[in-house]
A and B are shown apart, each in its own frame.
Chain A
Amino acid sequence: MHIIDRRLNPGGKSLENRQRFLRRAKSLVQGAVKKTSQERDIKDVLEGGEVTIPLDGMHEPRFRREGGTRDMVLPGNKKFIEGDYLQRQGQGSAKDSGPGEGDSEDAFRFVLSRDEFVDLFLDDLELPDLAKRKIAQTESEGIQRAGYTTSGSPANISVSRTVKLALARRIALKRPRKDEVEELEAEIAACTDEDERAELIARLEKLKAKTKRIPFIDPLDIRYRRYEKVPRPVAQAVMFCLMDVSGSMSEHMKDLAKRFYMLLYVFLKRRYKHVEIVFIRHTDRAEEVDEQTFFYGPASGGTLVSSALQAMHEIVRERFNPSDWNIYAAQASDGDNSYSDGELTGLLLTEKILPVCQFFAYLEVGESGGSAFDLSDSSLWTLYERLRNSGAPLSMRKVSERSEIFPVFHDLFQRRETAQEKAAP
Chain B
Amino acid sequence: MTERLFEGADWDFQTLQRITDACEEVALKDLGLDVYPNQIEVITAEQMLDAYSSVGMPLFYKHWSFGKHFAFHEASYRKGLMGLAYEIVINSSPCISYLMEENTATMQTLVIAHAAFGHNHFFKNNYLFKQWTDAEGILDYLDFAKNYVMQCEERYGRIEVERTLDAAHALMSHGIDRYPGKKKLDLRAEEKRAGRRRQHEEEVFNDLWRTVPTGKSKSRSALSVERRRKLLGLPQENLLYFLEKSAPRLAPWQRELLRIVRHIAQYFYPQSQTKVMNEGTATYVHYRIMTRLHQQGRITDGNFLEFLGSHTNVVFQPEFDDQRFSGFNPYALGFAVMQDIERIVTNPEDEDREWFPDIAGKGDVMGVLRDVWANYRDESFIGQFLSPKLMRHFRMFHLHDDPEERAGIRVDAIHDERGFRRVRRELARQHDVGFIDANIEVVDVDLSGDRRLILHHHVIKGSQLNETDAKRVLQHLADLWTYDVALIEVDANDKVLREYVVSPRPIPAAVA
Contact = CB atoms under 8 A, between A and B. Distances in A.
Contact of B170 (A1, A9, A60, A109): A60
A181 to B, nearest CB: 74
Contacts of A85: 407-411
Interface in A109-142: 109-111
A321 B225 CA distance: 81
Contacts of A109: 75, 79
Nearest to A65: B463
A14 B50 CA distance: 6
A6 B42 contact: yes
B429 A71 contact: yes
Given A7-B44, A7-B47, A11-B44, A108 B72 contact: yes
Contact of A88 (B37, B75, B409, B419): B409
Contacts of B43: 6-7, 9
A87 interface: yes
Interface string B446-475: 000000000001011111111011101100
Contact of B411 (A23, A50, A81, A110): A81
A63 B473 contact: yes
Given A6-B47, A69-B462, A76-B395, A62 B71 contact: no
Given A23-B64, A77-B395, A86-B411, A17 B70 contact: yes
Contacts of A1: 17, 20-21, 24, 37-40
Interface string B68-111: 10111011101100000000000000100010010000000000
Q: Interface size for chain B: under 10, 10 to 19, 20 to 34, or 35 or more residues?
A: 35 or more
Contacts of B16: 3
Contacts of A86: 399, 408-411
B397 interface: yes
A354 B180 CA distance: 78
Interface in B309-329: 317-322, 325, 327-328
Which of B39, B64, B78, B318 has the most A CB atoms < 10 Å from its CB?
A: B64
B320 A81 contact: no
A85 B318 CA distance: 22
Which of B402, B412, B429, B469 has the most A CB atoms < 10 Å from its CB?
A: B469
A67 to B, nearest CB: 6
B94 A83 contact: no
A72 B42 CA distance: 40
B461 A69 contact: yes
A57 B511 CA distance: 24
B426 A82 contact: no
B397 A87 contact: no
A107 to B, nearest CB: 11
A20 interface: yes
Contact of B416 (A7, A73, A82): A82
Contact of A80 (B17, B98, B411): B411
A85 B325 CA distance: 21
A62 B173 contact: yes
A69 B67 contact: no
B147 to A, nearest CB: 14
Contacts of B94: 2
B75 A108 contact: yes
B176 interface: no
Nearest to A64: B466
Contacts of B411: 80-86
Contacts of A11: 44, 46-47, 50
Contacts of B232: none
B435 to A, nearest CB: 10
Contacts of B170: 60-62
A31 B412 CA distance: 50
B472 A59 contact: yes
B440 interface: yes
A43 interface: no
B286 interface: no
A147 interface: no
B346 to A, nearest CB: 25
B401 A111 contact: no
B400 A76 contact: no
Contact of B39 (A4, A20, A88): A4
Interface string B11-49: 001001100110010000000000001111111101101
Contacts of A105: 72
A75 B386 CA distance: 13
B38 A70 contact: no
Nearest to B59: A13
A179 interface: no
Given A2-B38, A62-B170, A72 B401 contact: yes
Contacts of B418: 82
Interface string B420-445: 00010011011000000110100000
Given A2-B38, A7-B42, 7 more contacts: A4-B42, A14-B54, A21-B66, A61-B469, A64-B470, A85-B410, A110-B71
12 contacts: A3-B39, A6-B41, A6-B47, A17-B64, A21-B67, A24-B64, A61-B472, A62-B173, A76-B394, A82-B413, A108-B72, A110-B75
What 4 pairs across the A-B complex have the smallest Cβ distances?
A76-B319, A21-B67, A68-B463, A68-B462
